[in-house]
Structure formats: C-alpha cells, structure tokens
C-alpha cells in the first residue's frame, strides 16, 4: 500500500489516501492539527449513526427534566 494523491483528485491539505496496488482507496490519513474540524464532523456523524436506534426524548420532556430542581447528593 502507498500514500499518495490520486490523479485528477483535488488535493486537500492535511488529508491523504492510502491506496492499494491498483490505486484504489483503502484508508485515509488525516492531519488532526490541520483538519480538526473535518475530523470532528466525521466523528459526530459516526456517533450519531451509532445512536440511530436509541430511544428518543422530546424537546418538551428535556426542558421539563432540566427545569426540575436537582437533588443534592450527600457525600460521606
């Protein structure tokens, strides 16, 4: 495998593709200092997708839960 820019591809600074012997993309290398926002967007998307089947809570229910006074925990 080789890291290189593919012919005819727009080059994005801080992003490189790992390609196989046929030139097909197999992985991507992201410079996290240069492309922190891109990584955050990708991570958020994957996280949201992983939670797709979790139960939903309505906005009204969240507002009501947040408006209730919090109980204090006694440290002991």
So what's the pLDDT on residue 76?
A: 59
So what's the pLDDT on residue 10?
A: 67
Q: Please tell me whether the overall predicted TM-score, pTM, comes out greater than 0.85 for this model.
A: no
So what's the pLDDT on residue 50?
A: 96
**C-alpha to C-alpha distance for 28 and 17, rounded to whole angstroms:** 4
What average pLDDT does this structure show over 41-45? 94
So what's the pLDDT on residue 48?
A: 94
**C-alpha to C-alpha distance for 56 and 52, rounded to whole angstroms:** 9
Domains in the chain: boundaries: 2-52
pLDDT at 4 over 60: no
């Amino acid at each position: 495998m080789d890291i290189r820019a593919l012919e005819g591809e727009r080059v994005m600074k801080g992003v490189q593709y790992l390609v196989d012997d046929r030139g097909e993309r197999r992985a991507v290398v992201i410079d996290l200092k240069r492309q922190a926002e891109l990584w955050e967007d990708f991570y958020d998307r994957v996280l949201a997708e992983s939670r797709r089947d979790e139960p939903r809570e309505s906005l009204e229910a969240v507002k009501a839960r947040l408006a209730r006074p919090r109980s204090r925990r006694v440290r002991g």
